């Protein structure tokens, strides 16, 4: 994600917690939020589905923050939903832009997924 996708008043794509922690490890939490950038709308996802595991790892950010504190380790927390992009995958890898999870189809990601793989999006009929 870059600032072209995010409006100036939206949170950054990631947050660094305990940046100067003394641990020899660095923690990451990549499915920490259910937030979707305003410019993407809802990606065709019902509001109730944003509360489900398909949108984020519920409670993961709180656990990661506590671990950062206990270990005195720096932590990088992803600020947007895995429905936007799965941050632990290369952008051109299948699955970086999910188009379906469980019983929910994400029509807003279908053209993103194809573009990331360098292929034209399939037309919806």
| Strands 75-78 and 27-29, sheet pairing | parallel
Q: How confident is the model at residue 107 (pLDDT cuts 50, 70, 90)?
A: low
In a domain, 75, yes or no: yes
* Tokens representing residue 98 in the block: 């999910």
In a domain, 110, yes or no: yes
Number of folded domains that form the chain: 1
pTM for this model (two decimals)? 0.76
Q: What would the pLDDT profile of 21-80 be if each residue is shown by its tens digit?
A: 999 999 999 999 999 989 888 888 888 988 988 889 999 999 999 999 999 999 999 999
In a domain, 121, yes or no: no
In a domain, 8, yes or no: no
Q: What would the pLDDT profile of 67-104 be if each residue is shown by its tens digit?
A: 999 999 999 999 999 888 888 777 777 676 776 666 66
Instruction: For residue 64, give the CATH number of its domain.
Output: 3.40.630.40
Give residue 104's domain range.
Answer: 14-116
In a domain, 101, yes or no: yes
SS (H, E, C) the chain: CCCCCCCCCCCCCEEEECCCCCCCCCEEECCCCCCCCHHHCCCCCCHHHHHCCCCCCCCHHHHHHHHHHHHCCCEEEECCCCCCCCCCCCCCCCCCCCCEECCEECHHHHHHHHHHCCCCCCCCC
In a domain, 122, yes or no: no
In a domain, 45, yes or no: yes
In a domain, 125, yes or no: no
């Amino acid at each position: 994600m870059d600032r072209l996708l995010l409006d100036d008043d939206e949170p950054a794509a990631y947050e660094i917690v305990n940046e100067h922690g003394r641990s020899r490890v660095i923690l990451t939490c990549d499915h920490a939020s259910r937030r979707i950038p305003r410019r993407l709308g809802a990606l065709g996802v019902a509001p109730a589905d944003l509360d489900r595991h398909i949108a984020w790892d519920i409670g993961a950010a709180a656990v990661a923050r506590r671990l950062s504190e206990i270990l005195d380790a720096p932590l990088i927390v992803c600020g947007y939903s895995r429905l936007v992009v799965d941050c632990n995958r290369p952008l051109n890898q299948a699955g970086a832009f999910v188009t379906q999870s469980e019983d929910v189809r994400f029509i807003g990601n279908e053209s993103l997924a194809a573009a990331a793989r360098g292929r034209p999006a399939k037309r919806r009929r």
